Amino acid sequence: MPATPKPFEIIEDGTLTSVAGIRATGLHCGVKRKRHDLALIYSAVPTVAAAAFTTNKVNGPSILVCKENLKTPDVRAIIVVSGNANTCTGKTGLENAREKVSLTAQNLGLKSDEVLVSSTGIIGRPLPMDQVRKGIGRAAKVILRWTEETSLDPSEHGHLAARAILTTDAYPKEIAVRVKLGRKTVTLAGICKGAGMIAPNMATMLCYMATDAAIAPRLLQPLLKDAVERSFNSISVDGDTSTSDTAVLLSNGLAGNAAMDAEGKDYARFRDALHFVTRFLAQQVVRDGEGATRLMEICVRGAASDVEAKRVGMTVASSLLWKCAVFGGDPNWGRIAAAVGRAPARVKQERLVVKIGNQTVFADDSPTDYNLKQAESHMQEQKIHVTIELGLGNGEWTVWGSDLSYDYVKLNAEYHT
């Protein structure tokens, strides 16, 4: 049988600016002491935008302003400040969020409702707006001179944006892929920062994606929602939820493909590429979680529904006892079974099967005669695999989690407000 053609291809050194018409840059304006702290993302042509936000009922004014501006889905720019979450800052916080938006719009010749805004970092402190204002002006200049500046390297500036949105992340998270749709090649890219949550920062998960693919506008939001559900909403570093989590996908159609419709082959290919991108970035977030030394992938099968499969997976991925076992490299399946049993999902103990790596360790309400050494050796790998079969239905879900190490406690206990 001939090899099936790769559905998509990873672009070497790819980032947001690998997408036609997408410009981005990052710089240091003075919110942080030294590191880059302001990113500006821009599309040279109109886009259709989709977005997903934190479900936390305590949230920052950026979320409110984004939701207002998304009432019309044309988004041309996103202004991101890192180092200060602009959350729990009362009326001033809302005013500052609006001013960042209007100033960005003004500098780029856009309308305010074409601009989104994010802020991540320390909470409860007012933004240093003087520095932010200057930073917006400088970033806008780079964006406006994009085609004139012959010395400007688009991917270098894309990488600057990816760095400027970080807070406690150890490294930037970015990826770009090419997908063949008919005779056209479209590009899809994303940058992301982690949800490590370090004191006193409420380290937000932020993800900005863009594509030059044309797609029926009504499809974009459900497509993003599903992709986020299966990636960023399926990971657990510590179970805490930030007040400002945001994921945005802009589509500007510059690739010239026939606009995708729900039923076509193109749509399926593009969806697979999007899931690859969001899952790649989500796993990067877990790997870079505070104190994380190991990534676990938990596949739940045979649940009564997908929703219940996800609940079981997330309960196991968030179990402190199991996370400690993963840190210690211990194939302690009893902790998996106990976490499965307390998940808000239908579970029948006598049908439960647990696998670590490719070995079944628990079935028929009893431990199997598994090879302990082999299980222990699997637990030493960088990515460990757990399979949970519930034997009740066709519900399936995959989640990713980090382990729980001394460093997590250290990072989160030693800071003083």
- Region from 40-48, 112-120, 163-171, 338-346 binding a second copy, contact rule CB under 8 A: 338-346
- Smallest gap from residue 360 Cβ to a second copy (A): 14
Catalytic, 204? Answer yes
- 88: contact with a second copy by CB under 8 A: yes
CB of 109 to a second copy, least distance (A): 34
* Interface pick for a second copy out of 193, 287, 310, 335 (rule CB under 8 A): 335
- The total of other beta-carbon atoms located within 10 Å of residue 46's CB is 15
**Residue 68 interacts with a second copy (CB under 8 A)?**
no
Look up tokens 């050194």; give the residue: 13
Q: How far is the CB of 374 from a second copy (least distance, A)?
A: 13
Among 204, 211, 278, 387, which one carries the catalytic annotation? 204
Applying CB under 8 A, the site for a second copy has a residue count of: 67
Q: Which CB atom, from 113 or from 330, has the smaller least distance to a second copy?
A: 330
- In angstroms, the CA 340 to CA 311 distance is 9
Helix, strand or coil, per DSSP, at residue 187: strand
- Residue 321 in contact with a second copy, rule: CB under 8 A: yes
Which of 365, 371, 377, 394 contacts a second copy by CB under 8 A?
365
Tell which one of 238, 266, 288, 308 touches a second copy (CB under 8 A): 238
Verify binding: residue 258, a second copy, rule CB under 8 A.
no
Q: Is 410 in the site for a second copy (CB under 8 A)?
A: yes
- Closer by beta carbon to a second copy, 181 or else 325: 325
Q: DSSP string of 63-110?
A: HHHHHHHTTS----EEEEEEEE---S-HHHHHHHHHHHHHHHHHHHT-
Nearer to a second copy, 72 or 92 (CB): 92
Q: Is 332 in the site for a second copy (CB under 8 A)?
A: yes
CB 50 within 8 A of CB 208: no
Non-local (6+) Cβ contacts of 23 within 8 A are 17, 41, 42, 43, 44, 143, 146, 154, 157
φ/ψ of residue 339, rounded to 5:
-70, -40
3-state DSSP call for residue 217? Answer: helix
Among residues 89, 168, 231, 251, the one that binds a second copy under rule CB under 8 A = 89
- Which residues, numbered 181-200, are part of the site for a second copy (CB under 8 A)? 197, 199-200
Which among 229, 337, 235 has a CA at the least distance from the CA of 296? 235
| SS3 of residue 362 by DSSP | strand
Cα separation, 306 vs 11, whole angstroms: 32
Burial of 137 (0-12, 13-18, 19+ CB in 10 A): middle
Q: What is the DSSP letter of 46?
A: -
**Residue 414 binds a second copy, judged by CB under 8 A:** yes
Does position 372 bind a second copy by CB under 8 A?
A: yes
- Please tell me the distance from the alpha carbon of residue 163 to that of residue 165, in angstroms, as a whole number: 6
3-state helix, strand, coil split of the chain in percent (to 5) is 35, 25, 40
- Residue 289 CB, nearest distance to a second copy (Å)? 11
Taking CB under 8 A as the rule, does residue 328 contact a second copy? yes
Q: Which of residues 121-150 bind a second copy (CB under 8 A)?
A: 123-124
Looking at the Cβ atoms of 116 and 339, the one nearer to a second copy is 339
Contact footprint for a second copy (CB under 8 A):
55-59, 87-90, 93, 123-124, 197, 199-200, 202, 238-243, 318-321, 324-325, 327-335, 337-342, 346-349, 352, 362, 364-367, 372, 376, 404-406, 408-410, 412-417
Write out the catalytic residue numbers: 204
